[in-house]
A and B are shown apart, each in its own frame.
Chain A
Amino acid sequence: MTDRRLIVIGASWGGLQAVGEILAGLPGDFAVPVLIVQHRAEDTGDLLAGLLDRRGPLPVREVEDKDTLAGAGVLVAPAGYHVLVEPDHLELSTEAHVRFSRPSIDVTLESAADALGAGVIGVVLTGANDDGAVGLAAVRRRGGFAIVQNPETALVATMPAAARSSAAPQAVAELSEIAPLLVQLADGEAPHAA
């Protein structure tokens, strides 16, 4: 059984709805920290965290510099910042956009894979570009668990399709199946590969 230490969820176009549905399906005592990287305009402030906070029992807030991971609940990458992962805390960066995105899903997934190896669960959801594909492959390579939303039923297929072909994920799941799968994985159960 692997000790799951961080879940990274990457989403772009259509992500607000999709991430909200996942958060609505996680219980209030869910113990693994969840980090959400959602593409959006840079001047939206912390609007997204406020909206997602209402979707489920877990408290949701934006990442602050050097936030510790333990007991973090649900964190959202701030608009205009990349989030990088160290073994026990998070770092922020305003380095250039990566594939037109800041926050970039690839940056966070790669750095999470680097810092936490098999402790990472990476999830790539709906979106209209290919951010996340390289990062999810890194998660897979370092022994983490990769989940991709089924591109056939995602609002926009491009992003999950790119992640599916680059990362060979352990699970390609319907949106409604993802929260139960995360609960299973957090409990240390090994679901069968899709």
Chain B
Amino acid sequence: MTEADHHDRELEELELELLLEAVYRRYGYDFRGYARASLRRRLWRRADLEGLRSLSGLQERVLHDPHCLERLLADLSINVTAMFRDPTFHQALRRDVFPELRTHPFVRVWVAGCSTGEEVMSIAIALHEEGMLDRSRIYATDMDADVLARARTGGFALEKVRDYTRNYLAAGGTDSFSGYYAVTGDQAVFDPDLLRTVVFAQHNLATDGSFNEFNLVICRNVLIYFGRDLQDRVLGLFDESLPRRGVLALGRKETLRGTAIEERYEPVVEAERIYRRS
């Protein structure tokens, strides 16, 4: 991107808002409340790849060409994920959250913004090793139908196995990670038996409502892409979905501090951003 392309920040901001408004009104995808700096970066990347010199140009193409919208949606959904990402988080979950979950006859977990499913697989393994998977149901949602389709297959790149094995051990895995997947070509496929309690469903945190009550809601590194108002909306959604003593787990750099629901929650493990509703 060159200087001339978007030197006038006020004009660029206007073009950006019009583009988001157009995408919302034409197609129903609502990115208006997203965090701006990262959104702007990704919109410009799409404009550059399309050979366009302005966000207005991108707006015109998106409005008239649904294929361009598909490409834009792929750019706007961040699907970088890993199994047992932040091993100390998963350790804390097993150590400080599972003991109370165990006292429930049935456990409902919501993984919001599950992307290609690596976190879902991690949680399923942990519930399995703690003997709770049979009486659990994991609801895994994402706004992006394509990544959900990939998540349902349980497949992941074989080259990731070494990292995931290391994470699994660091996260307090008690068995052998190699027992949880089979290898076909350059793909590893997660044991389908462990995914049998998972319900994958399309759900957009920006526009959809609460759909159940959960003992544990996990939403990691999703809120960072939302602006403050949208963050408040989504936290309200989680709040409605959690009973008393329900647990909310956020990403390592996301916090309830300073939010509208803060006062109803106490930290279970502050460093890992695990909170319990009081």
Q: Are B223 and A65 in contact (CB under 8 A)?
A: yes
Interface string of A105-117 (1 = CB under 8 A from B): 0010001001101
Q: Name B195-253 residues within 8 Å CB distance of A.
A: 221, 223-225, 228, 231, 251-253
Q: Could you say which of A65, A92, A115 has the most chain B C-beta atoms within 10 Å of its C-beta?
A: A65
Given contact pairs A65-B223, A111-B37, A92 touches B253 in the complex (Cβ within 8 A): yes
Q: Which of A26-34, A79-87, A146-154 lies at the interface with chain B? A: A79-87
CA–CA, A84 and B88, complex, Å: 26
For A65, give its contact among B41, B170, B255 (CB under 8 Å).
B255
Asked whether B80 is an interface residue with its Cβ less than 8 Å from the other chain, the reply is yes
Which residues of A have CB within 8 Å of B38? 82, 84, 91, 93, 95
Asked whether A165 is an interface residue with its Cβ less than 8 Å from the other chain, the reply is no
Q: Are B253 and A65 in contact (CB under 8 A)?
A: yes
Asked whether A63 is an interface residue with its Cβ less than 8 Å from the other chain, the reply is yes
Q: Are A94 and B37 in contact (CB under 8 A)?
A: no
Asked whether B162 is an interface residue with its Cβ less than 8 Å from the other chain, the reply is no
Asked whether A78 is an interface residue with its Cβ less than 8 Å from the other chain, the reply is yes
Asked whether A66 is an interface residue with its Cβ less than 8 Å from the other chain, the reply is yes
For B41, give its contact among A84, A117, A141 (CB under 8 Å).
A84
CA–CA, A85 and B41, complex, Å: 11
Which residues of B have CB within 8 Å of A93? 38, 78, 224-225
Asked whether B266 is an interface residue with its Cβ less than 8 Å from the other chain, the reply is no
Which residues of A have CB within 8 Å of B224? 65, 81, 91-94
Which residues of A have CB within 8 Å of B267? none
Which residues of A have CB within 8 Å of B228? 66
For A43, give its contact among B42, B78, B87 (CB under 8 Å).
B87
* Residue in chain A with minimal CB distance to B167: A43
Which residues of B have CB within 8 Å of A107? 41
Asked whether A62 is an interface residue with its Cβ less than 8 Å from the other chain, the reply is yes
Asked whether B254 is an interface residue with its Cβ less than 8 Å from the other chain, the reply is yes
Interface string of A36-71 (1 = CB under 8 A from B): 000000010100000000000000001111100000
* Residue in chain A with minimal CB distance to B252: A78
- What are the 7 A-B residue pairs with the smallest beta carbon separation, nearest first? A84-B37, A92-B224, A93-B38, A91-B35, A65-B224, A91-B37, A94-B221
Please name 21 pairs of A and B residues whose Cβ atoms are closer than 8 Å in the assembled complex, sorted by A: A63-B253, A64-B253, A64-B255, A65-B251, A65-B253, A65-B255, A66-B228, A78-B253, A84-B35, A84-B37, A84-B38, A91-B37, A95-B42, A95-B78, A96-B80, A114-B9, A114-B37, A115-B9, A115-B37, A117-B9, A142-B3
A residues in contact (CB < 8 Å) with B: 43, 45, 62-66, 78, 81-82, 84-86, 91-96, 107, 111, 114-115, 117, 141-142
